[in-house]
Amino acid sequence: MSTRIRLFGSLSPVLLLACAILAVPSQVFGAAPKRATVLEQMRSARMKSHSAIDPLAHIATPSSISSIASTFSACGAWTALSPDLATFIRDEHMMIYDPVRDRLLLFGGFDSSDLTNSVWTLSLSGTPALTQLVTSGTAPSPRALGSAIYDSVRDRLLLFGGITNGGSSNEVWALTLSGTPTWSQITPLGTPPTARFEQAAIYDVTRDRMIVFGGYDDVVGDLNDAWVLTLSGTPTWTPMAPSGTPPIARDSHSAVYDGPRDRMVVFGGYSSSDGVLNDTWALALSGGGTWSPVTPNGGLPPMRYAHTAIADAPRNRMIVFGGFGVSGPMMNDAWSLSFTNPIKWTQLSPTGPAPYLQDYFPSVYDPVRQRMILMSGDQFCTLGGLSGTPTWSMIIPPGQAPRPRSQAAVIYDAPRQRVLVFGGGIYLTNIVFGDLWSFSLTGGGWTRVVPSSSVPPLRAGATATHDPIGDRLILFGGNGVGASLADTWQLSLGGTPS
């Protein structure tokens, strides 16, 4: 059976002094983020962590330390160029597209340290603006890994399930979006589904109802049940009893609504009995419903869970991105499944740097710009050009700054009077980065730099230098996810970095 992967381990810091660089043995600076205990304890029997390698553990202290220390008094005074900035971070959250206001809505998930129940919006027209939404009413308790849909008839966000600090949930909550956004808990008639997280849900537009499938139950484990929540009149829960053989029980799968064929399409996920999956199933929504396997022509995408998917309705297909495989770090490949003959999987080859994401994350379809939008950590990534050549790009809200990190690679780019920072990791975890940031020494302030080509794999503890003749950054080695690296990369700094 496959072993499930979560990325928790340890990293070591580097302390930089203004006049001398002194390497010190690794040490612990603080407690592990709370997120490392909430879900991991509940899934420890089916997940394993990767171990990071500490590149500094055996560095000897120079014998001339006392002579170096004696010169510190001549260094002058420290001056802060940038404060310890609070950065917007979300993982394992829920997200919908609000078509009335052309924006994203993000709820819950983990911020930099704990579960949250805040709501944020990202406007998509004009200059993108990331804003916390002020709501009234009693909000749901903080939670992650639930499901969310947009109820177009009533112009509201609907939430179901998820995991809270007290365990998994089967609550239903609504947030109205017109006027003053207001939270209210919905208590449907009927027997509700068992509490769960990592399930999938869709909005059945034709019948004005929410369909929920699968997920993980604290008591029984993985599920393969399907439920209907009717939304017209008094909301009511009803278990579905579809004909046909159902998929095996699973969690961390994806599901999309295929309107033209009146069905829900499910792909992949994780099964306690069978491990990581790459099968595809369709649930016909007419009548009592019917399960049937989807058997595409040709090959299949690699097995995966915790991936994300959208329905690309104009092109009659589903697009799947990322996820954890049987082993190794999270993947960053994109695949499409055609819904019309020939029914087949096709791996996409987008231009632009594909994002490297490391946690459970949602995605939506942006119908105005015909693109996929996904969000993880501090990245809003888009896969556009779906009618022609797919292209990766990013939405960068103003005022972003790098996430807190250690062991980043740093160089001074003298011609442009800036400092460039690449990668690094989060202390006491095995989360590493592959992002690039610039800090201006003339105007001050941070800017995310998005290269035009593919980027190196995620890493911390890499070595970097500036080549002034070639006007490029040279990067070597570092710690990837569970392994040391010995690759060498260059980044041209003139024009658009590549």
* 475 has a pLDDT exceeding 80: yes
Is residue 57 within 8 Å of residue 26, measured between CB atoms? yes
pLDDT score of 114? 92
Could you please state the CATH topology (level 3) that the domain comprising 94-395 is classified under: Neuraminidase (2.120.10)
* 186 has a pLDDT exceeding 60: yes
Confidence of residue 25 (pLDDT cuts 50, 70, 90): very low
CA distance 147 to 267: 16
pLDDT score of 84? 86
Nearest alpha-carbon partner for 146 in 181, 113, 110, 192: 110
* 195 has a pLDDT exceeding 70: yes
Give me the chain's average pLDDT, please.
87
Average pLDDT over every residue of 431-456: 92
Give Cα 284 distance to the centre of its chain: 29
- Residue for token digits 């639930």? 146
Structure tokens at 411: 């160089």
CA distance 73 to 76: 7
pLDDT score of 328? 73
Average pLDDT over every residue of 199-227: 97
Q: Which of 62-71, 113-122, 245-254, 395-404 has the lowest mean pLDDT?
A: 62-71
* 375 has a pLDDT exceeding 60: yes
Average pLDDT over every residue of 285-308: 97
Average pLDDT over every residue of 323-327: 92
CA distance 477 to 487: 5
Q: Which of 46-60, 397-411, 427-441 has the lowest mean pLDDT?
A: 46-60
Structure tokens at 78: 């420290």
Is residue 37 within 8 Å of residue 31, measured between CB atoms? no
Q: How many CA atoms lie within 13 A of 209 on its CB side?
A: 22
Residue pLDDT, tens place only, 159-170: 999 999 999 999
* 66 has a pLDDT exceeding 60: no
Q: Which of 38-42, 95-99, 211-215, 488-492 has the lowest mean pLDDT?
A: 38-42
* 55 has a pLDDT exceeding 60: no
Nearest alpha-carbon partner for 224 in 294, 271, 161, 264: 271
Confidence of residue 40 (pLDDT cuts 50, 70, 90): low
* 376 has a pLDDT exceeding 50: yes
* 277 has a pLDDT exceeding 80: yes
pLDDT score of 222? 98
Average pLDDT over every residue of 463-476: 97
Amino acid symbol at 292: S
Confidence of residue 330 (pLDDT cuts 50, 70, 90): confident
Is residue 490 within 8 Å of residue 471, measured between CB atoms? no
pLDDT score of 358? 73
- Higher per-residue pLDDT: 59 or 488: 488
Nearest alpha-carbon partner for 214 in 160, 141, 290, 136: 160
Q: Where are the domains of the chain?
A: 4-74+400-492, 94-395
Amino acid symbol at 180: T
* 34 has a pLDDT exceeding 60: no
Average pLDDT over every residue of 323-341: 92
pLDDT score of 299? 94
Confidence of residue 76 (pLDDT cuts 50, 70, 90): confident
Confidence of residue 402 (pLDDT cuts 50, 70, 90): very high
pLDDT score of 220? 94
Average pLDDT over every residue of 101-122: 96
pLDDT score of 8? 30
Strands in 156-160's sheet, in edge-to-edge order, are 147-151, 156-160, 172-176, 182-186
